[in-house]
A and B are shown apart, each in its own frame.
Chain A
């Protein structure tokens, strides 16, 4: 029963966000501010993780494919396809669920327990829309950009690792990556990026918005935001893979 209560409340919360902003200029300003927080603020962690995941995937793939009958450029194919289809969108968004999700939930939760959300409501402002919608729009714009950036760095990390460890020269890696590249693969990656962006921003805002109590409950809301976002990301990862890649 609790699951259906939460699901219903979450859907009503999403519906309550879509409104005509009280002042468009304030809404745009808030959206740009959130884009900076979510996008620019996450660049370093996304860069570090992507380069290392790309490098490790290359080394491990090479370890499993040592055979004179398999051309080495296959390693480039596997790493680039894995990056586009799974590693860049899923690993990046799981990390962002922790960084961005916890940040959003604690910010909104703190506003709830210090009556700042009540203050917005008393002023006649749609608080869920004022707080939530700029974060969702910023996430839908910036997280796909971060995924493209992560894709690029994952493959770059793979090329770098292949070169430094002597697995193969960069041109062979790139040739392997190019052989099987299709825009459909990229569209799967972007579909995941948009769905995961919506999950991270909306679930985290929801958890913060309904935090109740004090500092302890704000912390719990942050933890719930991260765990629930991660579970939904993995669930929808499977659904999208099944729907789009059903051979």
Chain B
């Protein structure tokens, strides 16, 4: 389980996150939604340690990520997988080498076991035949799937996804959503998805957190979001603008 306690973050004089408190359970996708500039990506970067909040705690199964020593932070990071908005695949490596990378760096597997694990991960995201291709030779949707395969290669406990549907057509977007939903349930991992896509929220949002101007304005599930939108004007406006 991942817990955020009183997270505050600012850049110079501008505060972008205000006392964020939330709990994210394993086994179901947790969505953080909100308009651009609302602090979603900053919150995600704080959660994975790419930024440090000024105040607050980030607890990974009770371990406070913010106040640990660098070596202990590295240990937690090996339990984390991340799908970046731009996929962040290593463009000098093939698809298979990208998936192999974390295994080669950290696992104690031998070459044959690594090869089997890479093939399994690529098959799991329906990319069995694309291992020898380079990232520049595959489509945006395939890159996202390679990113997911690389993220799950190491038996992770936490998966972070930054705008997994950005730049994808509706069909590919649905494929990625289903894949994230299945993987989260199958491996029992704690998945955090940052999105401004309401379709994703309606499809897989078992737990949704609405961030507005750096503050949590609402938390609930996809079944409650419409009724909440009628009561909370910012959420209602966000839902309406997403459906235009």
Contact = CB atoms under 8 A, between A and B. Distances in A.
B122 interface: no
Contacts, number: 51
Interface string A83-105: 00000000000000000000000
A122 B75 contact: no
A6 interface: no
Interface in B4-58: 48-50
Interface in A117-176: 118-119, 121-125
B91 interface: yes
For the complex, would chain B's binding face be called helix, strand, loop or mixed by DSSP majority?
Answer: mixed
Nearest to A116: B88
Given A23-B105, A118-B50, A123 B77 contact: yes
A115 interface: yes
Given A26-B105, A114-B88, A118-B88, A123 B78 contact: yes
A115 B91 CA distance: 11
Interface in B143-164: 160
Contact of B102 (A115, A121, A123): A123
A115 B150 CA distance: 15
B82 interface: yes
Nearest to B77: A124
Interface string A1-29: 00000000000000000000011001000
Given A122-B48, A122-B50, A125-B105, A115 B88 contact: yes
Nearest to B78: A124
B105 A119 contact: no
Interface residues of A, number: 13
Contacts of B73: 124
Contacts of B82: 119, 122
A121 B52 CA distance: 13
Contacts of B77: 121-124
Nearest to B98: A119
B104 interface: yes
Interface residues of B, number: 24
Nearest to A119: B88
A114 B91 contact: yes
Given A114-B91, A116-B90, A122 B49 contact: yes
Contacts of B104: 23, 26
Contacts of A121: 49-50, 77
Contacts of B90: 116, 119
Contact of B106 (A115, A116, A122, A124): A124
A116 B91 CA distance: 9
A22 B154 CA distance: 15
B220 interface: no
Most buried by B among A23, A26, A116, A123: A123
B128 interface: no
B84 interface: yes
Interface string A21-52: 01100100000000000000000000000000
A118 B80 CA distance: 13
Contacts of A124: 73-78, 80, 106
A121 B104 CA distance: 16
A1 B162 CA distance: 36
Contacts of A116: 88-91
B167 interface: no
Interface in B85-142: 85-86, 88-91, 101-102, 104-106
Contacts of A119: 82, 84, 88, 90
Nearest to B147: A119
Closest 6 pairs (CB-CB, A-B): A124-B77, A115-B88, A119-B88, A124-B74, A122-B82, A124-B78
27 contacts: A22-B105, A23-B104, A23-B105, A26-B104, A114-B88, A114-B91, A115-B85, A115-B86, A115-B88, A116-B89, A116-B91, A119-B82, A119-B84, A121-B49, A121-B50, A122-B49, A122-B50, A122-B77, A122-B80, A123-B78, A123-B80, A123-B105, A123-B106, A124-B73, A124-B75, A124-B77, A124-B78
Given A23-B104, A116-B91, A118-B88, 4 more contacts: A116-B89, A116-B90, A122-B50, A124-B106
